[in-house]
Amino acid sequence: MSKPRIAFLGLGTMGSGMARRLLANGFPLTVFNRNVEKSKPFAAQGAQIARSPREVAAQSKVIISMLADDNASRTLWLGGTGALAAATIGTVCIECSTVTVNWVRELSTVASGRGCEFLDAPVTGSKTQAAAGELNFLVGGDAATLEKVRPVLAAMSKAIVHIGPTGSGSLLKLINNFVCGVQVASLAEAMAMIERSGLDRAKALEILANGAPGSPLVKAVSTRMTTPDFPPNFLLRLMAKDLGYAIQEGGKLSVELVTAKAALEDFQRAIGAGHGEKDIAAVVEPFRKS
């Protein structure tokens, strides 16, 4: 059987790697990115370049988006030039962005009204995993719909987990990123203590990385915090956005995410200091300037 044409919206840090995995696995691909310069390399690799989300969706059986936030997602899916304006009946729409549960449910309703099927399928992993096709998909929606597009997701992943009904994947992703954000913020504060106290930084980080606190995230980010620059694996401003979304979702469940609020303050301070477009590891920098 021929592989379906895929429409891909968003070619940022994560989306570019995901789109290349689809091309490498032989899927016909049409891409759209608001900054057209990011689209041009994909033409040389065999992808079609669309001028609007509506155009990218017109001939596709599967539409995938990987965007920054609710507003970006809404803009590219809805409206006269949005992808859903041209999506045909039976198209599977997959929202991989880290967005709010309310928006996912609204988007699912609109997609269903157009005769499309919908999955929320955010991912865990960062730039390296996206490029290598080693992401983990957290899928919310109908299990039968997931089976229809499993080969598409498999091209970009090492694991695909059906979490539950629509919105389940997005909620778990926000919980995941809330825990990650708290770890990174606490690591930045610990780094400040280490550096200001005169402790041997390499030895101290080795103890933390290989002891009880040593999650894969702590190991990776502690190394990135010691480098002179912070090329993005995960944009700092997006972690701040995710923490804010997680706090909102916690509030709906009557759970006050106190640690998330404290971590968000650290990330907002770093954004205010001009580090929003850098890697999350740059959250340590304001502590070094104090």
161-194 per-position pLDDT tens digit: 999 999 999 999 999 999 999 999 999 999 999 9
Pick the last residue of a domain from 165, 182, 212.
165
- In the three-class reduction of DSSP (H, G, I as helix; E, B as strand; rest coil), residue 235 is classed as strand
CA–CA distance, 181 with 61 (Å, rounded to integer): 35
Decide if 212 is inside a domain: yes
Q: In this structure, are residues 111 and 132 in contact, taking their beta carbons and an 8 Å threshold?
A: no
Q: Are residues 183 and 95 in the same domain?
A: no
Q: pLDDT tens digit string along 221-248?
A: 999 999 989 999 999 999 999 999 999 9
- Number of helices (H), then strands (E), belonging to the chain: the values are 13, 9
What's the whole-number average pLDDT of the chain? 97
Which residues constitute the domain of residue 26? 6-165
Q: Report angle CA 63, 65, 71 to the nearest 5 degrees.
A: 130
Q: pLDDT tens digit string along 89-101?
A: 999 999 999 999 9
Contacts of 210 (CB under 8 A, 6+ apart): none
Q: pLDDT tens digit string along 145-164?
A: 999 999 999 999 999 999 99
- In the three-class reduction of DSSP (H, G, I as helix; E, B as strand; rest coil), residue 233 is classed as coil
- The pTM for the full model equals 0.96
How many angstroms separate the Cα of 241 from the Cα of each of 64, 66, 196, 260, 261?
A: 21, 15, 29, 11, 12
Q: Which residues are catalytic?
A: 173
Decide if 1 is inside a domain: no
Q: Are residues 197 and 223 in the same domain?
A: yes
Pick the last residue of a domain from 165, 180, 201.
165
Q: Are residues 194 and 247 in the same domain?
A: yes
CA–CA distance, 134 with 149 (Å, rounded to integer): 17
Q: Are residues 22 and 149 in the same domain?
A: yes
CA–CA distance, 117 with 101 (Å, rounded to integer): 17
What pLDDT does 1 receive?
57
Q: Are residues 180 and 279 in the same domain?
A: yes
